[in-house]
Amino acid sequence: MPAKVFVITGPSGVGKGTLIRTLRERMPELELAVSATTRRPRLGETQGVHYHFLDEAEFLRRIEAGDFVEHAEYSGRRYGTLRSELDKRIAEGHSVVLEIEVQGARQIAQTMPEAVRIFIAPPDERTLLNRLIGRDTDTREEIDRRLQVAKSELAAQDEFSHVVVNDRLDDAIDELQRVVSRM
């Protein structure tokens, strides 16, 4: 398979991280770009593994330096994909997965139209809420903010040529693998 960029987007709590983890177990040749963020690490998150955790000043400096292929504000924090994360992997011939929110996915559509963009949708909003609560990583206030954002993100799913509904996990992974494999 020639090196490709896959953008996986969709609302927080829909299961993007879970799906990507399982997909990469099935397709170990896929590499994941480690994003940068100004949010604080959650319990168990490691610098450079889950994210490059940067402070606001450093993030702004790297925007100015042109280090990001996309970046966005989400729930009061900054998130972005470092060009270096993509370039080194593609240069080595690896396909790369970006797990990003919708504004970033739109930027990639403009700057890298050849990237394959996949929207992960929940079966319904109630399920999304239950997953955010069940994950137990965010305060109720943060969950409410994320659900608010989710409403506009869900309204944007028609912009994506591939939409995978994550209802039963096994079915969603099978479908995601089908999309990725045929590209």
29, 120 contact by CB (below 8 A): no
Residues 74-93 as x/- pattern, contact with ligand 5GP by CB under 6 A? x----xxx------------
Q: Does 72 bind ligand 5GP (CB under 6 A)?
A: yes
DSSP string for residues in 6-47: EEEE--TTSSHHHHHHHHHHH-TT-EEPPPEESSPPPTT--B
CB of 90 to ligand ADP, least distance (A): 23
With respect to ligand 5GP, which residue has the nearer C-beta, 2 or 138?
138
Which one of 7-15, 25-33, 56-64, 79-87 is the stretch in contact with ligand ADP (CB under 6 A)?
A: 7-15
Q: Please list every residue from 6 through 65 that binds ligand 5GP, using CB under 6 A.
A: 12, 16, 35, 39
Choose, by CB under 6 A, the member of 32, 54, 101, 120 that binds ligand 5GP: 101
Cβ 64 to ligand ADP shortest distance, Å: 29
Q: Which of 30, 54, 62, 70 touches ligand 5GP by CB under 6 A?
A: 70
**Does residue 37 interact with ligand ADP by CB under 6 A?**
no
Give the nearest distance from C-beta 92 to ligand ADP in angstroms: 26
The CA-atom distances, in angstroms, between 138 and each of 21, 43, 53, 120, 152 are 20, 11, 17, 20, 20
DSSP per-residue letters across 77-117: EEEEEEHHHHHHHHHTT--EEEE--HHHHHHHHHH-TTSEE
C-alpha 83/C-alpha 80 separation (Å) is: 9
Q: Please return the burial class of 117, using the count of CB atoms within 10 Å of its CB with bins 0-12, 13-18 and 19+.
A: buried
101 binds, among ligand 5GP, ligand ADP, none (CB under 5 to 8 A by kind): ligand 5GP
Contact between 109 and 117 under an 8 Å Cβ cutoff? The reply is: yes
Residue closer to ligand 5GP, measured from CB, 14 or 173: 14
Query: The tokens of 40 are what?
Result: 């604080």
Which residues contact ligand 5GP by CB under 6 A? 12, 16, 35, 39, 70, 72, 74, 79-81, 99-101, 103-104
